[in-house]
Structure 1
Amino acid sequence: MPKHTIFVCKSCHRSSEEKPNNPPFDGDILLDKLKSLCISKLPNDELKIQSVGCLWACDRGCVVAVSSEDKPTYLFVDLTPEESAASLVEFMQMYIKSRKGAVVWEQLPQVLQSAIFAQIPSVKS
């Protein structure tokens, strides 16, 4: 089965608050929470959690991209570390189980319904 990747922008910070001068930034906090939750809830042979320096959506709070070679990529913005980690794990469970990576908007956890920014088709589509 294909490997799935969650890309977390570790330099992100919610735009409504002043960005602190020193880490941890909100992206770092979200990354740590995701790693702890994923250990117990998702198969580690199916999932890679990768931090990235920047996802170029700096005015959109915490930003996460979910990708797999044969599935669409999802981009989530305006996430908060406190509320989003568990919802992202729930989304990943659906994404991994779906052969084509299709997740119906209505099935998204409530927190992610307002955070979905884009669904980008896979290159192989």
Structure 2
Amino acid sequence: MPKHTIFVCKSCHRSSEERPENAPFDGDILLDKLNNLCSEQLSSNEIKIQSVGCLWACSQGCVVAVSSDEKPTYLFVNLTPEESAAALLEFMQLYIKSRKGNVVWEKLPQVLQSAIFAQIPPNNS
């Protein structure tokens, strides 16, 4: 079974809020929440959570990409660590179950409906 990956930008922070000195970035907080929830809810054979230094969407708050071989890549922006971790894992279950990786917008968890930025077609070369 292919590995499905959640890429979390660990340097992301909602730009509308002032970040206190030495406070963790929103991306780091989301990464911790995802790792904790994933260990409780999903098999490590199905999903990989990987931090990345930057996803080049710095003006878009907390950013996450979801990817798998031969499936589209989804890009989510302006996520809040407090609300998004559980919604992302709910999305991942839909994504994993879909043979082609297509998830109907109406089936997205409510929190992610306004956060979806792009669906990038798979590279089936």
TM-score by length of 2: 0.96
Aligned twin of 2:109:
109
Over 4 Å off, 4+ runs? none
Counterpart contact for 1:2–1:70, Cα < 8 Å: no
* SS of 1:7 mapped into structure 2: strand
Aligned twin of 2:121:
121
Aligned CA RMSD, in angstroms, stands at: 1.1
Distance 1:21 1:124 in 2: 44
Q: Which amino acid aligns with 1:88?
A: L
Q: Given the alignment of the two structures, is residue 48 of structure 1 paired with residue 48 of structure 2, yes or no?
A: yes
Q: Deviations over 1:67-121 (max 9, x none)?
A: 0011000000000000000000000010011110010000000000000000000
Q: Which amino acid aligns with 1:46?
A: E
Distance 1:21 1:74 in 2: 32
For 1:21-32, list aligned pairs within 5 A: 21-32=21-32
Aligned twin of 2:68:
68
Q: Which amino acid aligns with 1:14?
A: R
Structure 1 gaps of 5+ residues are: none
Counterpart contact for 1:6–1:49, Cα < 8 Å: yes
Structure 2 gaps of 5+ residues are: none
Shift of 1:23: 4.4
Aligned twin of 1:90:
90
Distance 2:20 2:113 in 1: 28
* SS of 2:39 mapped into structure 1: helix
Question: Size of the alignment, in residue pairs?
Answer: 125
Aligned twin of 1:19:
19
Aligned identity (percent) is 80
